[in-house]
Amino acid sequence: MMPAGSPPIRIDKEGTWYYGGQIMSRLDIVTYFSRHLALDDNGDYCITLGNDRCLVEVEDAPFVIRSVMKEWREETRHNVITVAMTDGTVETISPETITVGPGNIPYCRVRNGTMTARFSRPGYYQLAAFIEYDHTKNAYYIPLNRKRYYVSTEE
């Protein structure tokens, strides 16, 4: 049972979508809604479809990364980091947006930098395979295309 006044749609910290307290099991619908998810002027998450608008309660981050890959792009002759998220979408992320938040949970920016994504445990382990340690700066970084992207920590 949802508390009175709660939005009917909720995303838990694992990236599972719920409607009216029930899991939304159709990935096509979750993917469709996630493509229309945005932050409004008040900082609330909402889905806007035409003139219809629905608030969404987000427990942690609206997107959760389930897997991470480093890929070579022949057209740019560069490596990129690609992530697959629980909503079924795949996108390239900017390594400079990777941060470590409270509880040592890594996050990054997705959707052209407009949204936050949390790394799941498997996603984190895959990301960790790319991370190196700089003893001179006492900091962790991701080497990519002859550049070091340092992972910042949020307190």
16, with CB counted inside 10 A (0-12, 13-18, 19+), is: middle
SS (H, E, C) 24-39: CCCHHHHHHHHHCEEE
| In the chain, domain spans | 9-58, 63-153
- Rounded to two decimals, the pTM is 0.88
Topology classification of domain 9-58 = duf1285 like fold (3.10.540)
* 52-97 confidence digits (pLDDT tens): 999 999 999 999 999 999 999 999 999 999 999 999 999 999 999 9
Q: How confident is the model at residue 37 (pLDDT cuts 50, 70, 90)?
A: very high
Tokens for 40, please give them.
């409004």
How many whole angstroms separate alpha carbon 90 and alpha carbon 33?
15
Out of 1-5, 8-12, 82-86, 101-105, pick the least confident: 1-5
* 93-139 confidence digits (pLDDT tens): 999 999 999 889 999 999 999 999 999 999 999 999 999 999 999 99
